[in-house]
A and B are shown apart, each in its own frame.
Chain A
Amino acid sequence: MRFSCILIILSVVFSATFYNDPILIHKNSKTVALGNIGEFNEDASAIFDNPSYLSTQENNITITHYRFMSDFTYSNLAAKYGPFGFGLVMIGASDYNTAVDAYGEFIPAGSYSYNNAVYLLSHSSQRNNLCFGVTGKLYTSNLDNISASGFNIDASTTILLKELTISAIITNLFNNGKNSIKWNNGDNTEDLHSTLALAGMYNLNPVKLYAKTTAFLNAPIDPLINLGASYSIESLVDLMLGYTQYYSDNKKQSAMSYGVAINLGNLGVTYSANPVKTVDGYYEGIQQLSFRVKI
Chain B
Amino acid sequence: MLRLFTIDIRLCYSKLMKVYRNDYLRVFHTVAVVMLFTWLFALNNSYTFTPVANSISANRYAISTAKTPSIIGSLRVTFNNYVLTETNILSEFAEELTDAEVTVIGGTYPNPNPADPDKDTVQIGYRLNKDANIEICIYNMNVQLVKRIPCLSSFPGGQRGYNKVNFNGLDLAGNKLGNGIYVYLLVHNNKAIVKGKIGVKRR
Contact = CB atoms under 8 A, between A and B. Distances in A.
Interface of A: 11, 15-20, 22, 24-25, 68-72, 91, 93, 95-108, 112, 114, 116, 141, 143-144, 146, 148, 183, 185-186, 188, 190, 246-250, 276, 278-283, 286
Given A95-B114, A95-B199, A103 B192 contact: no
Given A105-B127, A188-B202, A279 B141 contact: no
Contacts of B80: none
Contacts of B111: 98-100, 106
Contact of B162 (A105, A146, A188): A105
B42 interface: no
A43 B174 CA distance: 39
B74 interface: no
A185 B200 CA distance: 13
A274 B174 CA distance: 28
Interface stretch (B64-72, B94-102, B151-159, B182-190): B182-190
Interface in B159-184: 162, 164, 171-181, 183
11 contacts: A17-B178, A17-B202, A18-B178, A20-B142, A97-B113, A103-B162, A141-B179, A185-B203, A248-B143, A278-B192, A279-B192
Contacts, number: 142
A68 to B, nearest CB: 7
B21 interface: no
A112 B203 CA distance: 16
Contacts of B171: 250
Contacts of A286: 143
A69 B143 contact: yes
A173 to B, nearest CB: 20
B140 A20 contact: yes
A144 B144 contact: no
A96 B110 CA distance: 9
B87 interface: yes
Q: Which of A11, A18, A102 has the most CB of B within 10 A?
A: A18
A248 B144 contact: yes
Contact of B179 (A16, A104, A190, A249): A190
A40 to B, nearest CB: 22
A185 B114 CA distance: 14
Given A20-B178, A101-B60, 19 more contacts: A15-B176, A17-B176, A17-B202, A18-B178, A95-B113, A95-B198, A96-B113, A96-B197, A103-B162, A104-B162, A106-B109, A106-B111, A107-B60, A107-B109, A108-B109, A144-B199, A146-B201, A188-B203, A282-B195
B112 interface: yes
Contacts of A247: 144
Q: Which of A25, A97, A98, A188 has the most CB of B within 10 A?
A: A98
Contact of A280 (B59, B60, B175, B190): B190
B109 A98 contact: yes
B112 A98 contact: yes
Contact of B143 (A18, A276, A280): A276
Task: Give the top 6 A-B pairs by smallest Cβ distance, nearest first.
Answer: A250-B172, A106-B125, A106-B109, A106-B111, A20-B180, A249-B145
A280 B141 contact: no
A175 B140 CA distance: 25
Given A68-B143, A106-B109, A15 B199 contact: no
A172 to B, nearest CB: 14
B185 A278 contact: yes
B191 interface: yes
A233 to B, nearest CB: 31
